[in-house]
Structure 1
Amino acid sequence: MLAIILRARPSRAASRANLDDPQELEPQAPGRRQFEWTIRRALSMLSWAFCAMTGWTPAVSQSQIVGIGLVQGAGLGFLFVPLSSTGLATLSPKDRTEGAGVYNLARNIGSSVGISVVNALLTRNIQINHAEIVRHVTAVNRAFDLPAISQFWNPVTDAGRAALDSLITTQAEIIAYIDDYKLLMIATLAVFPLLLVFKKADGGGGGHAVEL
């Protein structure tokens, strides 16, 4: 066993030669096929997570939230790590510091714009859904003649109107969140065709890099 370990251990000369050769220290990006499969797996996980979130209601269980959150986190890890490593591997060593800064800046700007758009759509859809539901809630609606409903949501009394408005707002928020999750799912699925534009890099940092 000791002889096997000694034979497998690299010599000091070989280690020093690897350190002296700058080509040995350059990161190697995955090939195109491995890159595409990794990104495809990440996008599939994110699409499934957003699709599952379209069925969420206030009654969603904690286990569902944790499970879908784990899948979504793993999908983001499979997505951004290959993108950053592959993108920086196409650059020469002297440009990788600036490239990492530009990449992080673009990622932060993109996430900020995405969050702002989603929040704006959420607020807008809540108001639209609330107004749409209120159109069907009138004092002449025969559903309020039922004792089980008029006991809690009587549009004639102040307490009944307040409870009814709270219920309508909750339903409007649920629909708005579902619309946002559906939009994110469609946006994630729309990224799949972009994988066709990736090609092998002719030069740059690594011989196996993939670039746009």
Structure 2
Amino acid sequence: MQDSLVEYGARRVIITITAILCALLEIVDSTIVNVALNEMKGNMGATLSEVGWVITAYAIGNVIVVPMTSWLSQQFGRRNYFAASIIIFTVFSFLCGNADNIWELVFFRLCQGIGGGALLVTSQTIITESYPIEKRSMAQAIYGLGVIIGPTLGPPLGGYIVDNYSWPYIFYINIPIGIAAVLMTLQFVRSPKYAEKRKASDVDWLGIMLLALTVGSLQFILERGHEEDWFESGMIVTFTSTAVLGFILFLWRELTYKYPIVELRVLKNGNLRIGTIMSFVLGFGLYGSTFIVPLYTQSILGWTALQSGALMIPAALTTAFMMPIIGKLLTKGAKQQILVALGLFIFFIYSFWGYKILTPDTGEDAFFWMLIVRGAGLGLLFIPITSLSLSTLKGQEIGQGAAFTGMMRQLGGSFGIAGITTFIANESQKHRVNLLSHLDENSLNVQERINGLKASFMAKGMSSDVAEKSAYKILDLAVTKQAAVLSYMDVFLYLGVIFLVCIPFILFVRERKSKEKIDLSEAMH
């Protein structure tokens, strides 16, 4: 069954382009909105907390549908399901741009996320199955381009559109691409022959409900926890209980029901289990660092959205350059574990470098090589992790495996962003208290600084007492800024440590996996 979907020549090129276009559409859309939130807030008269839901709703829709993708493809046929997802995504993109109030926009974003969730996983499965087994690593390299470059393209593209047009255009831009993708899908993508469709009475409705409840609650906690002050909030406690209880019931249901909505048994595959954990770590690092660099450059250095987005482009190009090389290395038999370990180490170097260069006024040049190193690290991680995960799966299992790694990468990103946001807020407070304890009002340095500021304010025509107040205010702002910078430095350091700690685990799996791979490949013949 496997080889029946392998494509050759121009047809394979077109299918590959269609799949990447769809993956890009979905990923760019998850980050393009970030730079337009301010604009939306003003236009719709919404609070910052309300406008945050525009991102949250999309992520919830995404994460709920990803694990069900394999099953839905089976029910409706992959081509039809893929085309329907693109149509849903495109129609709701149009409605998002036309929304009249914030809650309408939030609802449309949720529906857009439900359409979008399928695009990512299904496009990965389509690409994987269109290439013969010996070229799979190359296929993952091509797919990886979209996944790694997408989050980086979002902010500069969003910044450009918001600066030159208005925010609805960040949604309208999807429409022509969506229409082209639908036509190409219907014309060129083929569906595998699945065993049999389920009757409505066999459908795991309870499983679907428990999955939506668990994953939706978890995503909600991660996205909103920081603003609601975590477990101080009754709402967060309720959602946490729901997520835990839902997860336990979901596991029980999927392992006992005859036709589960998510085939958990596929996780018996050792390679997939390790790949799933590593995808989580990759998501944490990829989305975490895509989130923190623009945040730092905008909030501390005062850059515009377009400037901070453009900063990330060389790194994305480095990753793009690395992808085919790594695909070739894997095709020639390079060990996936070694490449992943190397990628983790390079990502550690990037993080430690970030820890070293951050100051309240770091120049643009200082970021260049550091971000190039990040691009190289991500290039080394993405394909080897994905091909390690899917290397010993076949047939239907490929779609199920891709769904697990896709969901874990997404959840890793949500955990990363939620963790970083909370960490920065808490650490800034600690560093501030610590810095203030070292500031003695009677010390000569402090007095000189205050007098200097006071004199410059008085020269601008302020009265003595107003100038003195302003001088203290400036000093206070400097302390706050320095505290924030210290907390960003901590984030970089700890991100690096997380990646460093993973290295031995990856190297550990080497012998057992290679033996398992031989056994499985024999089983496949």
Please point out which of 29, 33, 43 is paired with 2:344.
Answer: 43
Quick check: which one's helix share is greater?
2
Matching residue of 1:94: 396
Matching residue of 2:366: 64
Contact 1:92-1:205 within 8 A present in 2 as well: no
Contact 1:43-1:79 within 8 A present in 2 as well: yes
Larger Rg: 1
Q: Distance in 2 between matches of 1:86 and 1:93?
A: 16
User: TM-score, normalization: structure 2?
Assistant: 0.32
Matching residue of 1:3: none
Contact 2:359-2:485 within 8 A present in 1 as well: yes
Contact 1:93-1:205 within 8 A present in 2 as well: no
CA apart distance, 1:127:
0.8
Matching residue of 1:168: 479
**1:187 and 2:498 correspond:** yes
Q: Distance in 2 between matches of 1:68 and 1:206?
A: 41
Q: Distance in 1 between matches of 2:133 and 2:480?
A: 56
CA deviations 1:16-58 (Å, max 9, x no partner) are xxxxxx9x93356659862122112211211111111012213
Q: How many residues align?
A: 185
Contact 2:340-2:384 within 8 A present in 1 as well: yes
Contact 1:153-1:163 within 8 A present in 2 as well: no
Q: Output aligned runs, 1:33-182, within 5 Å.
A: 34-55=335-356, 56-146=358-448, 149-152=450-453, 157-182=468-493
Q: Distance in 1 between matches of 2:434 and 2:333?
A: 49
Matching residue of 2:521: 207
CA apart distance, 1:80:
1.5
Q: Distance in 1 between matches of 2:514 and 2:491?
A: 36
Contact 1:89-1:206 within 8 A present in 2 as well: no
Q: Distance in 1 between matches of 2:424 and 2:439?
A: 23
CA deviations 1:114-153 (Å, max 9, x no partner) are 221112111111011111111232433333343x552227
**Structure 2 gap segments, 5+ residues each:** 1-7, 9-128, 138-329, 456-464
187-196 or 64-73, which deviates more: 64-73
User: TM-score, normalization: structure 1?
Assistant: 0.76
**Amino acid paired to 2:133:** E
Change in CA separation of 1:32 and 1:191 when aligned onto 2, cut-off 3 Å: farther
**Amino acid paired to 1:126:** S
**Structure 1 gap segments, 5+ residues each:** 1-14, 16-21
Q: Distance in 2 between matches of 1:135 and 1:203?
A: 59
**Amino acid paired to 2:354:** M
Matching residue of 1:7: none
3-state SS of the aligned residue for 2:521?
coil
Q: Distance in 2 between matches of 1:119 and 1:33?
A: 38
Q: Distance in 1 between matches of 2:342 and 2:385?
A: 13
Change in CA separation of 1:203 and 1:67 when aligned onto 2, cut-off 3 Å: closer
CA deviations 1:71-96 (Å, max 9, x no partner) are 10221121021111121112122210
CA deviations 1:142-172 (Å, max 9, x no partner) are 33343x5522279x82101110111101110
Change in CA separation of 1:117 and 1:153 when aligned onto 2, cut-off 3 Å: farther
3-state SS of the aligned residue for 1:42?
helix
Identity over aligned residues, as a percent? 21
3-state SS of the aligned residue for 1:61?
coil
**1:25 and 2:132 correspond:** yes
